[in-house]
Amino acid sequence: MQTAITGATLIDGTGRDPISNATVIIEDGRIQSVAAQGAVPAGAQVIDGTGLTLMPGMIDTHVHMLSNSEPMLHRLVTPFSLHLLRGIPNAAATLDGGVTTVRDAGGTPAGFKLAIEQKIFPGPRMQVAVTILSQTGGHGDSMMPCGACLAVPSPDVPASVVDGVEPMRQRVREILRAGADWIKVCATGGVLSASDLPTASQFTEAELAAAVDEGRAHGNIEVMAHAQGTNGIKNALRSGVKSIEHGIWLDDEAIALMIKHDVYLVPTLVAPMQVIRRAEAAPGTMPEYGVRKARQVVGDHQQSFRRAVAAGVKVAMGTDSGVGPHGQNAEELAVMVQHGMTPMQAIIATTRNAATLMKLDHEIGTLEAGKRADLILVNGDPLADITVLQPHANIVLVMQGGELVKNQVRERVTA
Ligand SMILES: [Zn+2]
């Protein structure tokens, strides 16, 4: 059966001007046609989108689906199975907020993605990095200063800590064996790690290049680099990574390298904001170093983003959800607009650009004939006010691959 969505204002994700009173026809999970005031075929299911905005499902290219913003001590009393199962409501909340695809930046085994694909529970389409690769004492090393290790062992999540070129090659091979779609490396220190500074460079260029090389040898698997300090960002860029995560201190040379090598910035502007919020909401539950470092980076982070946008660096939306609550992904769009993007640029960052970074742009990210029908209907005009994308009540319909996974306009559907 065909489905027709009529009457809505269409923002198609390409950056083109919106089309008012659009008709989008969907069949067999894909978009068949897009037209202004197009005809509705006989016998189609009609969804009346009058007064609503129709746009591609949002894409978040940096989440940690299994991380929860909770006191660190909780990790120690949570069995792995419970840790894993708590990801299920996280996935549901993400989808309910209109995010139909995510890239998981580490900690989530491939089986979680497969469970969503097999419709065992609802959630966004996923690509997963599985393991966060870190040098000893680096951002992804879970060995705490007391000597206890907070990493939760799982047979399908290879270990994070690796040092040296040949061990890096072997570990990347293990991660690819475990089903990773991306290789996640920490090229600098970070905010929520005990023993490093966000400005510190981590891994040598040779180690990073070995990870890039193994991914490409495996077949088109790219590296995403947690990279905050300037030198580590440049090491990652010279090694051939595909995206810079966070990018807190981008200088002119780093920006020029990103443009030259077609590297995406995934800003995650909300991440340090979330750390500060958590600390203020529940004093004493966050480690002191994390709160202190978050306060130190937040302003420079926003300035760095502003300069990258002004210079024309490609941006893909990412939130680091898991640092903050899941399902609030669209707040990042509002923060991007506060710091230099137009609402249309922010929408492109979470649709076309995010899909292109994930090499899914032939399938999703824009609403055009032939693409998969991943789309949302929004109560409000995000081009006039980007914050309308935040309340879940405003996301009145979510369609994923042509299937209605959320629909609050049911009474307006006529056969
Ligand atoms: Zn992250």
Compute φ and ψ for 274, nearest 5 degrees.
-65, -40
Instruction: Report the pLDDT averaged over residues 218-235.
Output: 97
Dihedral (C-alpha) 272, 15, 408, 50: value to the nearest 10 degrees? 140
Which of 357, 384, 404 is the endpoint of a domain?
357
- Provide the CATH number for the domain around residue 37: 2.30.40.10
Domains identified in the chain, total number? 2
Does 210 share its domain with 268? yes
Does 88 share its domain with 192? yes
Q: What is the pLDDT of residues 65-95, one digit of tens each?
A: 999 988 888 888 999 999 999 999 999 999 9
For the purposes of burial, counting CB atoms within 10 Å of the CB of 410, is it exposed (0-12), middle (13-18) or buried (19 or more)?
exposed
pLDDT of 286 higher than 90:
no
Contacts of 50 (CB under 8 A, 6+ apart): 6, 7, 8
Does 378 share its domain with 270? no
Distance in Å, CA 152 to ligand 1 centroid: 17
Does 244 share its domain with 234? yes
Q: Are strands 45-48 and 413-414 parallel, antiparallel or unpaired?
A: antiparallel
Q: Which helix (H) or strand (E) holds 245?
A: strand 243-246
Which residue type occupies 318? G
pLDDT of 132 higher than 60:
yes
Alpha carbon distance 387, 224 (integer Å): 28
R_g of the chain, CA atoms, integer Å: 21
Please state, for a pLDDT cut of 70, what percent of the chain lies above it: 99
The predicted structure's pLDDT at residue 74: 85
Q: What is the pLDDT of residues 138-160, one digit of tens each?
A: 999 999 889 988 887 889 999 99
The predicted structure's pLDDT at residue 408: 92
Does 118 share its domain with 100? yes
Does 72 share its domain with 52? no
Distance in Å, CA 294 to ligand 1 centroid: 14
Does 217 share its domain with 341? yes
Does 297 share its domain with 408? no
Distance in Å, CA 140 to ligand 1 centroid: 10
Which of 338, 357, 376 is the endpoint of a domain?
357
Does 11 share its domain with 144? no
Domain of residue 33 covers 3-57+366-414
CA 355 to chain CA mean position, Å:
10
Nearest alpha carbon to residue 164 among 204, 129, 200? 204
Distance in Å, CA 245 to ligand 1 centroid: 8
Predicted confidence band of residue 283 (pLDDT cuts 50, 70, 90): confident
In order, the DSSP letters of 327-351 are T-TTHHHHHHHHTT--HHHHHHHTT
Does 289 share its domain with 328? yes
Does 67 share its domain with 149? yes
Q: What is the pTM of this model?
A: 0.97
Instruction: Report the pLDDT averaged over residues 330-340.
Output: 98
Does 25 share its domain with 106? no
Distance in Å, CA 62 to ligand 1 centroid: 6
**What is the residue-averaged pLDDT of the chain?**
95
Contacts of 91 (CB under 8 A, 6+ apart): 65, 112, 116, 121, 122, 123, 124, 326
Distance in Å, CA 37 to ligand 1 centroid: 43
- Provide the CATH number for the domain around residue 142: 3.20.20.140
In order, the DSSP letters of 88-133 are HHHHHHHHHTTEEEEEE-SS--HHHHHHHHTTSS---EEEE--SEE
Q: What is the pLDDT of residues 299-324, one digit of tens each?
A: 999 999 999 999 999 999 999 999 99
